[in-house]
Amino acid sequence: ANVVGQLIKGKLNSPKTNPDDLAKGEGAVVTLDGHRKGAYRDDDGKIHIVDTTCTHIGCEVEWNSGDRTWDCPCHGSRFKFTGEVIEGPAEKPLQKYDYTMMDNLTSEDS
């Protein structure tokens, strides 16, 4: 079992947005097969999925629609929609997923 996933589920307000419903330039926390992920659709229509667990010490990043970044409320780390670090203290990028692969990953899980 994925302990991090279980902890996260417990404190979530069950986000429901489907990545396919995102408009270009829009980002949101979504639930993919029970897993909390960050989704963003870029101006070309491509969907980018990242893990919302901050790589500093594990708070949940939030979507910043003004800057189109994932920002951590705990110590201020900021990440691009592709997961790369913009500002620390986090040093590692957010884990990134291929949206197509994500389906495969989650179906193997269940």
Instruction: Return the closest-CA partner of residue 31 out of 41, 9, 16, 53.
Output: 16
Task: Closer to ligand FES by CB, 4 or 57: give it.
Answer: 57
Position 56 contacts ligand FES (CB under 6 A)? yes
Sort strands 47-51 and 62-64 into parallel, antiparallel or unpaired.
Answer: unpaired
Under the binding rule (CB under 6 A), the answer on residue 94 touching ligand FES is no
The answer to whether 59 contacts ligand FES (rule: CB under 6 A) is yes
Q: Is 72 in the site for ligand FES (CB under 6 A)?
A: yes
Told to check if 85 binds ligand FES by CB under 6 A, we report no
Neighbour count for residue 82 (Cβ, 10 Å): 13
Stretch that binds ligand FES, among 4-12, 41-49, 52-60, 95-103 (CB under 6 A): 52-60
The CA R_g of the chain, rounded to the nearest whole Å, is 13
